[in-house]
Amino acid sequence: MTNLNRDISTATLFIAGLWGFISGQFIIATVLFAGVTVLSNIAPKAVLTKA
């Protein structure tokens, strides 16, 4: 996944999670925020460099 795709995915999930939190859907918002965390922190560390 390229940096642009990851940034777009992260922003989309974050906005959806924020909207879910504001509208009172706390469980869905929690799952979306967890997805944002995985995409922004864990996924970049799993990328292997080419030798």
- Whole-model pTM above 0.95? no
User: In this structure, what token pair is assigned to residue 41?
Assistant: 């922190």
Give pLDDT, residue 47: 58
Query: Rounded to 5, what percent of the chain is helix, strand, coil?
Result: 80, 0, 20
* Rounded CA separation 6/3 (Å): 5
pLDDT for residue 1: 58
pLDDT in tens, 3-49: 788 788 888 888 888 888 888 888 888 888 888 888 777 765 555 66
